Copies of this chain bind each other. A is one copy, B any other.
Amino acid sequence: MRIAIDAMGGDHAPKEIVQGAMDAVNEMEDLQITLVGDEAQINPLLTNQKNIEILHTTEMITSEDEPVRAVRKKKNASMVRMAQEVKEGRADACISAGNTGALMSAGLFIVGRIEGIDRPALSPTLPTLDGKGFLLLDVGANVDAKPHHLVQYAVMGSIYAEKVRHIPSPTVGLLNVGTEDGKGNDLTKKVFAKLQEAPLNFIGNVEARDILNGAADVVVTDGFSGNIALKSIEGTALTMFSMLKEAFMGSFKTKLAAGMIKNDLKGLKTKLDYSEYGGAGLFGLCAPVIKAHGSSNARAIVNAIKQARNMAAMHVTDTIKEKLETMNDKGGQ
């Protein structure tokens, strides 16, 4: 098993990426890693080269680059070379913490789509109160989704939840403005009918208010609404942490109290930290492609590596392909 990693992508690259790679090969015996990026920057950080190779390139895609154009023009960028390692069969999966749009383009144009999948979906796993987590997809790969795209998301999400997250017969919910059947806009009404007929554990509509309570294992939505949900959740959590911090710094008494519960609050932050579940998978491509969070530290990279390895080891891509073929044979799509 070999995983290609963009060593130059993310806010803390290459340091945390290289550290994460070294930690991962230490933990996982069967793992080989190709770090794609600038040798001159990677080498001094690579204190243990066991099972790690460097694929040298100095070109990079930055967060300011226009995604599609960058992937087309910067043929030697670390992210592009990383995707080519997968495309040409030298790696089984790849990971980048860099420009999300560029990774989606690299995934689409270089790694390529699974036959039958019209649009890949970006799929983070978000935390729930009970610590189980849920998969939300799509969060922005495809902002003008058609009904059958969402059915494909449901199929891909279910397979991932079952194979990688070990949830038997995962529940699938459709993100909507109310829980009753028949609720929603034109898109969700059409999707609802299709999901009822699909070979899935579809439990109906779920509301954004309930998804952090674990309303469903897989929550399906179009890329626009999913992006709004994800960023609303992130923004609210960050705002509340800011407010908490402010409240705690108010007086000597509150500072004292804050000191007493510091560890418990850290636990809360960890519970909300979705890098614990790995990065966001780009589902529907010919091999696992993982978008690690831009602010990933070594630990987040290790989690993303585990996730990519499990996706490859559990043959998630092949299973999706087979499931789609069965559904097409039955006219079930």
Contact = CB atoms under 8 A, between A and B. Distances in A.
Interface of A: 129, 140, 143-144, 175, 177, 184-186, 188, 207-213, 221, 223-225, 227-240, 242-244, 247-248, 250, 253-254, 256-258, 260-261, 264-265, 267-268, 271-272
Name the residue in A177, A186, A238, A247 with the highest tally of chain B Cβ atoms < 10 Å from its Cβ: A177
B207 A177 contact: no
Contacts of A212: 235-236, 239
Contact of A261 (B233, B248, B268): B248
Contact of A236 (B140, B185, B232): B232
A247 B258 CA distance: 12
A126 B213 CA distance: 22
A16 to B, nearest CB: 22
B177 A140 contact: yes
A268 B256 contact: no
Pick the 8 closest A-B CB pairs, nearest first.
A232-B232, A208-B231, A236-B236, A209-B235, A257-B260, A143-B185, A257-B257, A209-B231
Contacts of A254: 260-261, 264
Name the residue in A209, A230, A272 with the highest tally of chain B Cβ atoms < 10 Å from its Cβ: A209
A184 B234 contact: no
Contact of A207 (B175, B213, B231): B231
Contacts of A211: 232, 235
A144 to B, nearest CB: 5
B175 A228 contact: yes
5 contacts: A129-B242, A140-B177, A144-B186, A228-B229, A228-B232
A188 B225 CA distance: 12
Contacts of A256: 257, 260
B247 A264 contact: yes
A247 B230 CA distance: 24
A213 B235 contact: yes
A254 B259 CA distance: 10
Contact of A239 (B188, B213, B261): B213
Given A129-B239, A228-B228, 4 more contacts: A129-B243, A211-B235, A247-B264, A257-B257
Contact of A253 (B209, B243, B260, B267): B260
Contact of A224 (B225, B233, B250, B265): B225
A150 to B, nearest CB: 13
A242 B240 CA distance: 13
A250 B129 CA distance: 15
Nearest to A142: B185
A127 to B, nearest CB: 9
Nearest to A180: B66
Nearest to A215: B235
Contacts of A258: 257, 261
